[in-house]
A and B are shown apart, each in its own frame.
Chain A
């Protein structure tokens, strides 16, 4: 293996790319592991959070729970959740996945709830007046109008999962964290390469959900300013 380097400079960034070029198999394997772990956690989180949030929002029930679960969830220190997981479930993929799901659900759930709950009541009323059943109202009116804010939560959760999955290496979950913690073997170029890969993955996942969001947003609403993004931190904070 090449000499272990320390220190950071523009040259180090170039070295990092060289590292990727020199170790394509390693980087590919670790990236796929990372993607698999993240994808699984995001998938399960979506299945838990979205139906629940949408239903509660539609029924205008459970606001206390739905709002506060995100406040609490956002506060949870990720390594601490993983640590409790190791202490109860042991090391490995499952433990880390559970921890990641716990961290991903809150923003997804809260935003789905707030988004559907907050749909313009006039629009809902008009739809009911036009004879739609509650289910149709949900599907044709509430969800399309809620897409933007709902996806803000999904994207937040998804990106958070991809970033936090880096800590999986400590708990035996694999992924790009394995490269980042192994400065001993891979040197600074390896650490930077791992970091770049994680960041790239995060952007990729964010971009993917952005595309899905766009596809699901009804044409009429597509060019609205993304005020939701600006507001999300404020909403979460008050």
Chain B
């Protein structure tokens, strides 16, 4: 087994330096893509990062949605709240991600919490805007009909307005999700893992395969999430014709 071959050093008692596994020619020459390296490192290096990435994203979009949804309901009811909420969320959105993550560290450490605070913040603007717009775009006829049927405001909200707002809400979730996947790669800068970690590590060695694999995996994840959410959108609002835009 490789590594068990030991090179004893001087009799003076230096350390035993094992013979480490030699990289394949592809790897040593840093050729464009080394499939062998990729397949041997998938489960140790890339799969855990992919799972971390999904976890970080899901948590951010989930928490962001709850906050944005609550804010949108408030703004829908009390119109004066729209501008302050939009202003705050827009302000958070404009902070460059590399800065936001670093600035959280003194408060919440090199932890997922720091990353999540930033990631959640970035979802709020798009989710809030889309949920609110969706609610506002509900046709007045529908509201009138609901009133005529004797529904309370709460019932109207949950049985009429929200279902009709579903396309806009799903559109917002979709954009927020792919944006978060993108930003989560940057979060690796403060050491929380995810697919950004192999990217930042690859800078150490300039190893092309590592750059490409990490990048491609992130792209595939984003496209897969986007596609999944399109399907979900169709499932949840089958009455909405796909707009030819």
Residues of chain A touching chain B, judged by Cβ–Cβ distance below 8 Å, are: 6-8, 63, 67, 71-72, 74-84, 86-88, 91, 114, 118, 163, 166-167, 169-170, 177, 180-181, 183, 188, 191-192, 194-195, 198-199, 202, 230, 233-238
Asked if A233 contacts B175 (CB within 8 A), the reply is: yes
Known: A72-B226, A80-B195, A80-B216. 10 other contacts (CB 8 A): A8-B103, A71-B226, A77-B182, A78-B182, A80-B218, A83-B218, A183-B102, A195-B96, A233-B171, A238-B171
List of B residues within 8 angstroms of A166 by Cβ: 96-98
Q: In the complex, A195 Cα to B32 Cα: how many Å? A: 35
Complex partner residue of A76 from B103, B170, B222, CB under 8 angstroms: B222
Asked if A234 contacts B215 (CB within 8 A), the reply is: no
Identify the closest chain A residue to B167 (Cβ). Answer: A238
Asked if A238 contacts B99 (CB within 8 A), the reply is: no
Question: With A6-B106, A83-B214, A87-B215 as given contacts, are A238 and B243 in contact (CB-CB < 8 Å)?
Answer: yes
B44 at the interface (CB under 8 A from A): no
List of B residues within 8 angstroms of A163 by Cβ: 96
List of A residues within 8 angstroms of B218 by Cβ: 77, 79-80, 83
Identify the closest chain B residue to A111 (Cβ). Answer: B245
Interface of A, secondary structure class, is helix
Identify the closest chain B residue to A117 (Cβ). Answer: B245
List of A residues within 8 angstroms of B243 by Cβ: 235, 238
List of B residues within 8 angstroms of A233 by Cβ: 126, 129-130, 133, 171-172, 175
List of B residues within 8 angstroms of A82 by Cβ: 215
